[in-house]
């Protein structure tokens, strides 16, 4: 049986084994997928051991996505631009590194949530690994404008400098939270980890255009501080990042197995599972 794994630290609460097992049943693929914890200083050794046991591919999560980028012998363009890898495919002596987070976000917004991005004004909050990973796929959807704001303004400006050549016709700006006073956005995506710390962001209450969508990459059975704030601040539609998680997994699965699973039933099943634990 072909073996796959999620490698990270920690990995105990990961939903990925559940998601990939469901995809395998649905597409009748014979495979196993497990969560594999790597010591903080032992990512490459863990990958080596897993390959020696016959591992065919792995997803990579916090804090190893950047190390996985260095370990890969070949990178897709989206992984190279992200500077981070969440999907490794082992091919004889080569290791292909890909990043499926961005396409996962875009598919969740456009396909699952019917939130078009073309021609819209998009605000991306945060300039860490997640923001970096989604920028290139976001530009490919051709928004009218894309604004990045970050607590550490310099990091937002660095992202702007790195990704400006890929913006196409999209007006691309970067700055701090205080710079967007009076601006309105159609889609606001929280790619900060503030919700993980139960913190809210220094945003004014009038950033949402009519019918605006607020999206938090974090997910939790109990909602997130960002989405709670967005509801009171006037966002018309809201979503957490559970769909992004399922969609990035579907893209990895398709890459490994050459067959694309349907994410709809798996996402509903996962939502039911989460709700029963809340
Ligand atoms: P990083 O640590 O790389 O970046 C964290 C970002 O959050 C930085 O921009 C940081 O700003 C900002 N930040 C943290 N705390 C605060 C705060 N209190 N106020 C304002 N800004 C803050 O994390 P990642 O980019 O890897 O992850 C970000 C989020 O995305 C996490 O919640 C993660 O769970 C989620 N995620 C979800 C995925 C999914 O499939 N649903 C996939 C990948 C990520 P500064 O630069 O100033 O420190």
Residue 259 placed within a domain: no
228 and 134 inside one domain: yes
Taking the CA of residue 199 as reference, the ligand 1 atom at the shortest distance is: 18
Within a domain: 265:
no
Residue 114 sits in the same domain as residue 83: no
80/158 same-domain check: no
* Phi/psi of residue 97, nearest 5 degrees: -110, 130
65 is catalytic: yes
In a domain, 256, yes or no: no
Q: Is residue 278 part of a domain?
A: no
| Rounded-to-5 percentages of helix, strand, coil across the chain | 45, 25, 35
Tell me whether residue 262 is in a domain. Answer: no
For the stretch 198-236, pLDDT in tens is: 888 999 889 999 999 999 999 988 889 999 999 999 999
Q: What percent of the chain has pLDDT over 90?
A: 90
CATH value at residue 16: 3.40.50.10860
More confident residue, 274 or 58: 58
Q: How many domains does the chain have?
A: 2
In terms of Cα–Cα distance, which of 6, 101, 23 is closest to 270?
23
Q: Give the domain range for residue 26.
A: 2-99
142 part of a folded domain: yes
User: Which of 72, 99, 126 lies at the terminal end of a domain, its last residue?
Assistant: 99
Query: Are 170 and 139 a contacting pair, CB within 8 Å?
Result: yes
Going by C-alpha positions, the residue among 8, 99, 100, 16 that lies closest to residue 50 is 8
Q: How far is the CA of 35 from the centre of ligand 1 (A)?
A: 22
Q: Is residue 107 over pLDDT 70?
A: yes
Domain co-membership, 53 together with 146: no
Same domain for 234 and 126, yes or no, is yes
Q: Which atom of ligand 1 is nearest to the CA of 101?
A: 42
pLDDT at position 146 is 98
Q: Is the pLDDT of residue 95 over 90?
A: yes
**pTM of the full structure:** 0.95
**193 CA distance to ligand 1 middle (Å):** 3
Distance in angstroms (rounded) separating the CA atoms of residues 88 and 94: 10
């Amino acid at each position: 049986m072909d073996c796959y794994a999620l490698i990270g630290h920690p990995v105990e609460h990961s939903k990925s084994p559940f998601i990939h097992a469901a995809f395998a049943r649905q597409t009748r693929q014979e495979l196993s997928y497990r969560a594999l914890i790597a010591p903080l200083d032992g990512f490459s050794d863990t990958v080596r051991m897993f390959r020696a046991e016959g591992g065919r591919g792995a997803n990579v999560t916090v804090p190893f996505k950047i190390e996985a980028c260095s370990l890969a012998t070949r990178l897709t363009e989206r992984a190279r631009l992200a500077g981070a890898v969440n999907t490794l495919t082992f091919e004889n002596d080569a290791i292909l590194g890909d990043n499926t987070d961005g396409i996962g976000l875009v598919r969740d917004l456009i396909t699952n949530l019917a939130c078009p991005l073309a021609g819209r004004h998009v605000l991306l909050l945060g300039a860490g690994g997640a923001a970096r990973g989604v920028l290139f796929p976001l530009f490919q959807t051709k928004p009218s404008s894309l604004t990045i704001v970050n607590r550490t303004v310099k990091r937002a400006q660095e992202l702007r400098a790195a990704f400006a050549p890929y913006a196409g016709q999209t007006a691309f700006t970067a700055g701090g939270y205080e710079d967007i006073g009076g601006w309105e956005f159609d889609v606001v995506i929280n790619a900060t980890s503030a919700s993980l710390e139960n913190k809210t962001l220094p945003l004014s209450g009038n950033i949402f255009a009519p019918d605006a969508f607020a999206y938090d990459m974090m997910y939790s059975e109990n909602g997130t501080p960002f989405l709670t704030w967005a509801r009171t601040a006037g966002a018309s539609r809201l979503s957490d990042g559970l769909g992004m998680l399922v969609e990035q997994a579907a893209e990895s699965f398709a890459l490994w197995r050459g067959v694309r699973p349907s994410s709809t039933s798996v996402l509903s099943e996962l939502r039911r599972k989460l709700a029963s634990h809340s």
